[in-house]
Amino acid sequence: MTAIEVRAVDSRATTTRRLLEFGAVCLVLTWLPWAILGVLGANLDEGGGMLVFALAASGPSLAALVMWLWRREKRLRLMSWSWKWPIAAVLLGSLPPLGATVLTGGLPALPDHAAEVIAGAGGLLGALAYTFLAGPVAEEFGWRGYVQPRLRRHYGQLATTAVLGAAWGLWHVPLYFLNGTGQHDDGLFTQQGVTFFLELFPLTYVMLFVTERLRGGVPAAILVHAAWNLSSELIPPLGNGVWVELLLLTAVAGVVGWYWRRNPTERAA
């Protein structure tokens, strides 16, 4: 084995070790508090239960912060200011849920349902604040800020998507056993539960595209995540239409992949 090959093996081994350390920290910060809340039967809608739940839900981003401080690693930055990635992020994140609503005939009920959701969140600003903090900001500094770029040091687009999508899904599993969450209401072995996990893979690829190819970095991932979450909340329940949403999201990821292959790098102006 040559010296270059040895360095490559060491680099891969170091990356794997760092990712395993991140995973361990993330699970301690998230799964342990969630397990305690579940055992105690705490109310997740108010008081201390809500605060603990929210902090635990920030486990991925907090784990990234712990790793950056603990290992003194240089933060990997991949971002450039452009008009392309904010627009692409919002459109790619919101198109599948909204498209599924149109195709399944739910459009007439959309205004009333959206108004009810926004009112329940305390108004438009409250809905936007909750949308950005609960999920996008709480998770994406970990998933797309720490894990994704380290996977990309050694793996291609599809392998990175598969590993990160699976990790992202695994992290959500306890929510299906925690009373008071939307996932618990949907159920793990229902079509809503199954499609939730399947959708994470094409959604992960879309985020890879906007963060890396469009150079939007973590802010672009936050926008995709927020657009997906907000549009999913504002539309009426899809019922069997969740499969249409999955197909649309997969199609979006396919188009993104086709474009990326034809335009692997940004063309000079």
Q: Which two tokens stand for residue 144?
A: 């797309």
Residue 151 in any domain: the answer is: yes
Contacts 24+ apart (CB under 8 A), 196-200: 196/172, 197/169, 197/172, 198/246, 199/245, 199/246, 199/249, 200/165, 200/168, 200/169
Residue 70 in any domain: the answer is: no
How many alpha carbons lie under 13 Å from residue 171 in its C-beta half-sphere? 29
Residue 220 in any domain: the answer is: yes
Instruction: Count structural domains, the chain.
Output: 1
Residue 36 in any domain: the answer is: no
Which residues, 6+ apart, have CB-to-CB distance to 151 below 8 Å?
15, 19, 159, 160, 163, 164
- Cα 173 to Cα 91: distance, rounded to the nearest angstrom: 28
Residue 67 in any domain: the answer is: no
- Cα 177 to Cα 204: distance, rounded to the nearest angstrom: 24
What's the pTM value of the predicted model, to 2 decimals?
0.92
Q: Is the pLDDT of residue 1 over 50?
A: no
Mean pLDDT of 72-87: 76
Q: Is the pLDDT of residue 159 over 90?
A: yes
Residue 3 in any domain: the answer is: no
| 3-state class (DSSP) for residue 237 | coil
Q: Is the pLDDT of residue 172 over 70?
A: yes
Whose structure tokens read 């452009």? Answer: 82
Residue 61 in any domain: the answer is: no
Of 45-54, 58-67, 181-190, 215-224, which range is least confident? 45-54
- Cα 265 to Cα 5: distance, rounded to the nearest angstrom: 28
Specify the length of the chain in residues: 269
- Cα 28 to Cα 196: distance, rounded to the nearest angstrom: 24
Amino acid identity at 106: G
Residue 77 binned pLDDT confidence (cut-offs 50, 70, 90):
low
Read off the pLDDT of residues 220-242 as tens digits, 9 standing for 90 and up: 999 999 999 999 999 999 999 99
Whose structure tokens read 């292959």? Answer: 261
Domain residues for 121? 79-262
Mean pLDDT of 95-106: 96
Mean pLDDT of 33-52: 89
Q: Which two tokens stand for residue 54?
A: 């929210």
Residue 74 in any domain: the answer is: no
- Cα 41 to Cα 73: distance, rounded to the nearest angstrom: 39
- Cα 171 to Cα 188: distance, rounded to the nearest angstrom: 13
Q: Are 193 and 172 in contact, with CB atoms under 8 Å apart?
A: no
Of 57-71, 76-90, 113-127, 141-155, which range is least confident? 76-90
